[in-house]
Chains A and B, each alone.
Chain A
């Protein structure tokens, strides 16, 4: 039992990072209806930018965060401006493939820069373990878990209670109607990409805290996409719940099945979950309730 709980809790920690990336993808989908693959790279580059300043130049942690966020946000903004804005009014499929192309191009740059090596971030969170009821939890993962939860709460509050949040929700529903109500939809798109890029960067930095920065990092972002799709693409709580769940499934599944099948369960667990969810509920687990008037 303790073994199971231990694995589940470790899964929750990892899952919170998936959830963050999922939230970033949901943010973009909600208001622009573009399903973005590019966020996988934003995660990776967020971590890389942070490494450049923190690990490379040795600038203190809090100060390094600023350029890392700014650069990632800029990247998000440029993707929106240069690649996606010209596609407004084109089929959404075109936009999706555009993000796919961006993913591949950035992947190339990422690998080219790292030359197949990996970069390890110096530890910036307190190390060690806390033990509660016989379950040990690494402090640094615990911290990133709570950061993820706090960030999620903050985003929900922004969406619900601020004017920009209201504009974002209005834009999500109907671009033309939002424009006719005086919402500057183009600006909203820019804000959304900046915001989601920063969320992705945070996820990337938190991930780099527990694993090295290497060519597989962007694929954490793909897990985020899976999370978003399973959660229904337009539901923030959906992304959170599915993200945590996915982390647990991966970890517990690996714990029990790896000895039997000989490893690799972690890598397929997410896709198996996606497959099952799409079979049972093709529109995702959560998602907005479609309003039918009778």
Chain B
């Protein structure tokens, strides 16, 4: 459904951030995109959603295909209309608007009033906490509530593909669990594909079917999530386990850096 074909992204005409990234998201699947800070995950998402253009970034090579259409030159609002919604990192809200207004803005690109009403009820069903806060100014919500509201707003565009950027960032473990449960639910019930960028590699690999690992603007490894979970390098560098599968202890930490080989 979504194919990135060897894309290259340059910021301000000089900074090469993505150096030939290819990845695919099939319909109705959850795909995880892992990688350290600065690997280019967020840039990849922004390239897909078109937000890159608002920050002097450009796709200079390769193309992005969604449902058979090339979308890399389209504006963000056109891309939303086509069915791709990015839920940005840091949970940005329209802080002066109420919770309900925030949710309504999400449906701005649509005009099917009856369906919008239904979707709104749906959002309140996914996130019952928000129901009681409908008329509260959203700027005062807590981190977890914000994450729910941001995802609810994304859902209102009735997306075929959701790009989630670090939904678990800075949340308590129980809240992370809940958010991930809802992500799975959204994927299952609406058949919405999800491209998930996460630092919490274990959780991401647990709910996704396929995963990509990025480093320095390149995809270095990809495969079935269940397989990647068993990969030695992934275990060492992303899951914090030593070869035997035990928690890593300081005793075993080698004082030289283990070389990654990225063989799948």
Total interface residues in chain B, CB < 8 Å: 31
Report whether A167 and B108 are in contact in the complex, using a CB–CB cutoff of 8 Å. Answer: yes
Which residues does chain B contribute within 8 Å of A174, judged by CB atoms? Answer: 92, 94
CB <8 Å contact, B139 and A180: no
Evaluate contact between A177 and B104: CB separation under 8 angstroms.
no
A172 and B77 CA atoms in complex are apart in Å by 16
Residue B231 is within 8 A (CB to CB) of chain A in the complex: no
CA distance A155 to B18 in the complex (A): 46
A169 near B94: Cβ-Cβ < 8 Å: yes
Q: Which residues of B contact A184 (CB under 8 A)?
A: 75, 77
Give, as a whole number of angstroms, the nearest-CB distance from A181 to chain B: 5
Q: How far is the CA of A172 from the CA of B105 in the complex (A)?
A: 13
Which residues on the A side are within 8 Å of B94 (C-beta)? 169-170, 173-174, 177-178
Q: Which of B55, B56, B77 contacts A182 (CB 8 A)?
A: B77
Contacts of A293 in B (CB 8 A): 139-140
- B104 near A166 with CB under 8 A, answer yes
Q: Tell me if A170 and B97 are in contact (CB < 8 A).
A: yes
Structural contact, B106 and A182, CB atoms closer than 8 A: yes
Task: Check: A94 CB closer than 8 A to any chain B CB.
Answer: no
A291 close to B (CB within 8 Å): yes
Q: For chain B, what secondary structure do more than half of its interface residues adopt (helix, strand, loop), or is it mixed?
A: mixed
Chain A residue, CB-CB nearest to B138: A291
Question: Of B80-88, B212-220, B235-243, which binds chain A?
Answer: B80-88
* A181:B108 contact, CB within 8 angstroms: yes
Jot down 27 A-B pairs with beta carbons below 8 A, ordered by A.
A166-B104, A166-B108, A167-B105, A169-B96, A169-B97, A170-B105, A172-B96, A173-B96, A175-B54, A177-B88, A179-B51, A179-B77, A180-B49, A180-B51, A180-B80, A180-B85, A180-B86, A181-B106, A181-B108, A181-B153, A181-B157, A182-B80, A182-B85, A182-B157, A183-B105, A183-B108, A291-B139
B-to-A contact residues, CB < 8 Å:
49, 51, 54-56, 75-77, 80-81, 85-86, 88, 92-97, 101, 104-109, 137, 139-140, 153, 157
Given A175-B54, A182-B107, A183-B105, 7 new contacts (CB under 8 A):
A163-B108, A170-B108, A173-B97, A180-B80, A180-B85, A183-B108, A291-B96
Closest 4 CB pairs between A and B?
A: A182-B109, A291-B139, A182-B80, A179-B76
Give A residues with C-beta under 8 Å from B: 89, 163, 166-167, 169-170, 172-185, 288, 291, 293
